[in-house]
Structure 1
C-alpha cells in the first residue's frame, strides 16, 4: 500500500499522463462522446497501483473540476474497499487529507468538488469511527471546530459547517451510504455520535451563525456571511431532524408526545400522513435549546431579515429564509423530557413563543392570501400552517386555543382556534376562486389545515368525545359550511367532465377519503348546525330534481347530490370495515339521530357503503 502523503516525484510523468487522460475522459462525458472510452479510463484510475498518490496529484493540480471530482470519488471507493488492509497511519492520513483539502481550498469556485471531498471525509470518518481513539477523533474535530467558528476566515467557516453536515448525514441510518458493513456497525456509530458529539455540533453551528448575525443584518443578501449563516441554520435543522434514540420516551406510544393531553390522541396515522417528525432530544439539550435564548435569537433574526427584505419578492425562497423557517418549524415539534415535569407549563410557554414568531406568516389571512394571488411566494404561509399542525397535535383543544391569547403583542382577543378557522376559510375561498385543476398553494394549505383540525377534533379515546371549548364548536361549523359550499361548486363544475371516477388511482381515492374523514370531524363538532344544513341541502336538490323532471338537464344536481352523499355518509357513521356501520354516537344524541335509527345504505363508486338516513332520501 502506497503512502497517501508520499513526497516522491519520480513518478511525476506518470501522474501527469493519468491526469490528462482523466481530464479527457471528463470532457468526453460532458460532450456525450466516446462514452465507452471515458468509462474505461475512469475505471483504470480506480485500478491504478498508485491510486492515492495519483488522485492526490489530480486534486491538487488539475484545472478541470470534474476530474478533481472523479479523483475524490476514486479515493472514497478504494478506501472503503481496502480499509481493513490500511495501517492506522494511512487511515488517519485519509481523513486528515480530506479535511485539510477543503479548508485550504475553501475559496475554490467549484463548490461541487468541495462538497464531494467533504462527503468523502465524512464517510471515511464514519468508516474509521470505531477504529480511532477518542483523542484522534478530538484532534480531527478540533480542526473542524476552529474552521466552523471562523478562525480560518469566512470561506473556511462555510466548508467547516459543510463537513459537519456530511458527517451528520453519514451517521444517520436514513441517509448513510452503503459500506458493506452489518447494521450493528451503523447503529454503534449513530449512538456514539448522538451521545458525545451531536449536541456539540449544534452548539458550534449556533456560535457560527451568531458570529455573523450583525453582518447579515447590516449588509445585503450577497455577502459571504449570509451564506455561512444559511448553512449553519441548515445544519441545525439537520440535527433537529435526527431520530433521537438515547433520550426518547418511545414516540411510538403516542402518550409521550402529547404532554398536555389527559388522554391519548389517536394520531399515529396522522403523523405518518403529514410526515411530522417530533424532536425528543432529552433533558440534556434543555440548556442549548430552551434556556439559552437561542429560540428568541432565531425568531428575532428571521423577523429582522423578513422586514428588511419585505420588498424583495424572492427573499422568502432564499436559502437563509428557507433554512430559518425549517428550523423554526422543527423547534415547534420539541417534546418529551427536554421539558421538565411541571404540568406542561414550560412547553406551553415555548409554544407561545414560537407562535409569536410565526403569527406574522399567517395573520391576517385575507391580506396574505391576496398577496399570494398577486405574486408573493406561498412558502411562508405553508410553513406557518405546518407549525400550527405541530401545535395542534402536541396540545389539547383548550391549550391550543389559549396560545394566541397569551401573546400580548398581538391585538387579537380571539383564540388560536379562531385564527385556524379564519385561515382555513380564506384558503378554501382561494381554492374556490381558482378555476384550474392543478394542485396550487391553496390545495396544499387546505390539506395541512385539515390535518390540524383532525388533530384537534379527534377523540382521545375510542368511544369518548374530545373536550372542546365553545369557540371550537362555532369555528368548526363555519369551516364546514364553507367546505360544503366549495365541494358543491366543484361538483357542479366537474359535472360534464369526461373522466371516470372509478378509474382514479388508489392514492387519489385515499386522499379523498382522508379529506372526507376530516370533514366528518368538523361536522360532528357542531352537529346541531351541520346536520340541519345537510338536510336542507338535500331537500333543495331533491326539489330541483322533482320540478325539473323532463324539462332541464339534471346532471349538475345529481353530481351535487353524489358529493353530499359522500360527505353525509362519513358524517353520520365511521366506515364499518366489513361490518354494518351505525350512526355515530354524537349524531345519535341529537334530535336528528333519534328520528333516524332505521337507515339505508348508499353504495359508493369508490367502494364501501355509506349510511344515509331515510329522511334524506
Structure 2
C-alpha cells in the first residue's frame, strides 16, 4: 500500500515542489496558447515537452490536488485532470483501495465546490472519475458505482439546479465511458477489457441509471405547465441521459472477438435489453410517462429532440424481453394508446416530424403485422390514417424544401422514412382484407404526383413560385430526378401496384396531357 501525505502547510518541502510544478505548467501554458507571432517554434515545442513530462510524473496525486486547488488557468486544470486520469490507469497496481476512493471523492467534491469551472475542464474531471470507476469494475479494489449513485442522489435532492446539472454530467460521463462508441476515453484499455467492463456495467448499473431518470421524470411530470427555467434545464439533461440509455447497444451473450480498438459506429441501434428489464420497460405506466413528458418538452426544440428520440427507441423494443407474442402485442397496444392519443391531440411542429416518422418506421419494422391485427380494429385503422395524413403532409413540405434548395431537409428525411414504413406494411398486404389499404395508397400516390408535376394536374410550379425559384433554375442546379428520387419512386411504385385500377389510368392521362 502506498500512502501519501496531503500537501498542506505541514510538509513545506512538498508544497514548494508542487507550487513550482504549477508555475512551470502555467508558464508553459502561456507559451503553448500564445499566437504564433509571439513565440518561436522552439519555444512552443519546449513548452509542450514540459506539459508532456508532467503528465508522466510518478505518483502525481498530491501535486495534482494542490494545482487543482490553487491555479487560475483553465488549461492547466485540464492538463492536471488528464494527468490524474493517465496516472490512475498506469499506476493502478500501486494504489490502495483507500487511495482510489480518496481520489474519487476529492474530484467529486472539487466539482461541486467549483461550480464556475469551464465546461471542458468539468467534463475532463468527470471523465477521470468515470475512468477510475471503470478501471475498478473487475478489481476488488474498485468500490463500484454505489458511492457515485449516492452522490448523484444527494445532488439531485439538493434542490439546487447547478448541483442537479452536475449530477447529470456525472451520469453522462459514466455512460460515455462504458458505452461502445467514440465517446469513451482514450485511456489505453484493451477492447477485451472494455467489453468485459461494459457487460458488467449493463448487468449491475445501467438499469439504475434508467430508474434514476424515471424518478426525476416523474417528479417533473407532477410540476405545472409551463415549466420553470430551472426545471427545463434539468429535464433537458435528464432526457438526454434517458435517450442514451434507450439507445444503448447491449452486448450479445455470444460475442465474437473483434479487431482491437473497434467501437460500434452503427447509427441505427434498436432497444434490445435482456430479461432483467421486463418489470420496467413493459410497465404501461412507464410508457405513458414518456408521452406525458413529451407534451411538456415539445415546445423546446432541443428537449423535444431528446424526448421524441426516446419514444422512437421505445418503439423499437425487441428481443428476449418479450416472453411470447402475447407480451409483444400487449406492449404494442400500450405504446399505440399513448402514441395515437398524442398524434390526435397536437399539431406537429417542424422539428417533431422526423422523430415521429422514425417512430412509425420502428413500430412497423419491429412488430409483425399479426401483432397489429390482434389489436382492436380502431387501433390499426387510426394508425394507418395518421400514417396517410402525415405522409402526404411531409411530402408536400419536402417538395417545398426541394424547391428552396434547403440544406436542412427534415421534411424530406421524414417523408422518406414514412415511405419506407409503407413499404414494410404493403409487403404483407396479402395478410390484410381485400382493399384494406387502397384508399390510403391512392391518397399518397395522388399527393406525390401533385407535388412533382405542373398544373393543371399538379402544383409543382406553385411550389417553385412560393420558393422564388423557376423551373429553368432548378433544371440547371439539380441532377436528373430519376436518379435523385430513385428510392422515393420505388416506394411510390410499390403503392401504385396496390391500386393499379387507379394509378395506371391516372398516369396515362397525365402522360397524354404532357405529350399531346
TM category, shorter: 0.7 to 0.9
Q: Tell me the TM-score normalised to structure 2 length.
A: 0.80
Contact 1:147–1:156 under 8 Å retained in 2: no
1:436 aligns with 2:404: yes
Q: Tell me the TM-score normalised to structure 1 length.
A: 0.68
CA distance in 2, matches of 1:488, 1:354: 38
Contact 2:97–2:141 under 8 Å retained in 1: no
Out of 485, 495, 506, the residue aligned to residue 522 of structure 1 is 495
Tell me, what secondary structure is at the counterpart of 1:10? helix
CA distance in 1, matches of 2:426, 2:358: 17
CA distance in 2, matches of 1:40, 1:416: 63
CA distance in 2, matches of 1:381, 1:404: 26
Out of 332, 347, 355, the residue aligned to residue 348 of structure 1 is 332
Out of 131, 141, 166, the residue aligned to residue 139 of structure 2 is 131
Q: Structure 1 residue 208: deviation in Å?
A: 3.2
Q: Which deviates more, 193-202 or 49-58?
A: 49-58
1:222 aligns with 2:222: no
1:14 aligns with 2:32: no
CA distance in 1, matches of 2:406, 2:365: 29
Q: What is residue 323 of structure 1 aligned with on the other side? A: 306
Deviations 1:29-77 (A, max 9, x none): 5553444454234223213456322222121222233321221112112
- Pairs within 5 Å for 1:419-430: 419-430=386-397
- Pairs within 5 Å for 1:166-315: 166-175=173-182, 176-214=184-222, 217=224, 220-223=227-230, 225-245=231-251, 275-291=267-283, 293-304=285-296, 306=298, 315=299
CA distance in 2, matches of 1:389, 1:14: 62
Q: What is residue 446 of structure 2 aligned with on the other side? A: 481
Unaligned runs of 5+ in 1: 249-271, 307-314, 369-376, 408-412, 544-617
Contact 1:126–1:189 under 8 Å retained in 2: yes
Q: Structure 1 residue 226: deviation in Å?
A: 3.2
Q: What is residue 112 of structure 1 aligned with on the other side? A: 120
Moved over 6 A (4+): 401-405
Change (3 A) 1:213 1:358: closer
- Pairs within 5 Å for 1:71-82: 71-82=80-91
Deviations 1:104-162 (A, max 9, x none): 44x3353332222111111221122111357x225534533533552585433332332
Contact 2:67–2:80 under 8 Å retained in 1: yes
Change (3 A) 1:288 1:239: same
Change (3 A) 1:132 1:51: same
Contact 1:329–1:387 under 8 Å retained in 2: yes
CA distance in 1, matches of 2:513, 2:201: 65
CA distance in 1, matches of 2:383, 2:237: 33
CA distance in 1, matches of 2:105, 2:120: 20
CA distance in 1, matches of 2:400, 2:248: 40
Contact 2:181–2:265 under 8 Å retained in 1: no
Contact 1:73–1:116 under 8 Å retained in 2: yes
Tell me, what secondary structure is at the counterpart of 2:475? coil
Q: What is residue 572 of structure 1 aligned with on the other side? A: none
Tell me, what secondary structure is at the counterpart of 2:282? helix
Q: What is residue 456 of structure 1 aligned with on the other side? A: 425
Q: Structure 1 residue 346: deviation in Å?
A: 1.0
Q: What is residue 159 of structure 1 aligned with on the other side? A: 166
Change (3 A) 1:466 1:542: farther
CA distance in 1, matches of 2:386, 2:293: 25
CA distance in 1, matches of 2:237, 2:277: 21
CA distance in 1, matches of 2:162, 2:336: 37
Out of 76, 79, 84, the residue aligned to residue 70 of structure 1 is 79
CA distance in 2, matches of 1:521, 1:119: 50
CA distance in 1, matches of 2:16, 2:434: 81
Unaligned runs of 5+ in 2: 255-263, 455-459, 462-469
Contact 2:395–2:411 under 8 Å retained in 1: yes
CA distance in 1, matches of 2:393, 2:225: 36
Q: What is residue 382 of structure 2 aligned with on the other side? A: 415
Q: Structure 1 residue 25: deviation in Å?
A: 4.1
